[in-house]
Amino acid sequence: MITEAAKRVREARAIAVLTGAGVSAESGVPTFRGEGGLWRQFRAEDLATPGAFARDPRLVWEWYDWRRQKIAACHPNPAHHALAALESQAAEFLLITQNIDDLHRKAGSRRLVELHGNIWRVRCTREATVSALPDVPLREIPPRCGCGALLRPDIVWFGETLPAEALDRAFRAADTCDLFLVVGTSALVQPAASLPLMAKRRGATVIEVNPDPTPISHLVGVSLQGKAGEILPALLGTPPGSP
């Protein structure tokens, strides 16, 4: 099955890829659902909603600070590197990620959209200006913008709309690609989860890479069961473990 899928990838003219937390799991970044997932230990309602931030901004900042420390120790794995290499092989290419960890960029991906934001950026709650995370000690959190309003992580929380330009590019890529690769996502969170199905409806080949079945596994063309760090180098023809 992987040989046939690899042939489809080589022959594709326009490729779109959707990644989720599973692509960074082998780097040591926790996923959200499933064993050891963040939502097994924490309630999303308390930490990843606008209401949670309004109620207790310090708690939300502390949680993101804790996650930042974990992510800072993680490095791109063979899956990130394989996808960065794929970008330079395809005429049209877009990597759409739900991840906020920046590991795709660290691996060299450039034709990239981040649907759910980036943990290394902050946004002013009044002016909506986005900037790099200020270097503040923990006692100064939640930090404030120069205008006096609170800064928040530049992350898309539940119930919030996704950044319009990123979403627009993602939908366009799903609409026009002939190959859609969906890697390491439980495909439960909208609107990201609808992108592979949209590509499928438009006639694209959809290949899923995940150790476990997802709600879209039976709908995609090819479901490759296994870890992204093992399957992607084999599928995309990059040496395993190569940066």
Whether 24 contacts 103, CB under 8 Å:
yes
SS3 of 65-88: HHHHHHHHCCCCCHHHHHHHHHHH
Binding status of residue 100 toward ligand BJW by CB under 6 A? yes
Binding status of residue 237 toward ligand BJW by CB under 6 A? no
Binding status of residue 22 toward ligand BJW by CB under 6 A? yes
User: How many CB atoms sit inside 10 A of residue 137's CB?
Assistant: 7
Binding status of residue 21 toward ligand BJW by CB under 6 A? yes
Closest CB to ligand BJW among residues 15, 196: 196
Whether 99 contacts 23, CB under 8 Å:
yes
**Closest separation between CB of residue 20 and ligand BJW, Å?**
3
Binding status of residue 76 toward ligand BJW by CB under 6 A? no
Q: Is 116 marked active-site? A: yes
Q: Which stretch binds ligand BJW (CB under 6 A): 30-38, 123-131, 173-181, 215-223?
A: 30-38
Partners of residue 122 on adjacent β-strands: 131, 153
Closest CB to ligand BJW among residues 146, 240: 240
Angle at 39 between CA 168 and CA 115, to 5 degrees: 10
3-class SS shares of the chain: helix, strand, coil, % to 5:
40, 20, 40
Compute the distance between CA of residue 15 and CA of residue 167 in angstroms, rounded to an integer.
16
| Binding pattern for the stretch 162-181 against ligand BJW, x by CB under 6 A and - elsewhere | x-------------------
- Enzyme catalytic residues: 116
Residues that bind ligand BJW (CB under 6 A): 20-22, 25-26, 31-34, 37, 48, 98, 100, 116, 155-162, 184-186, 188-191, 209-212, 214, 227-228
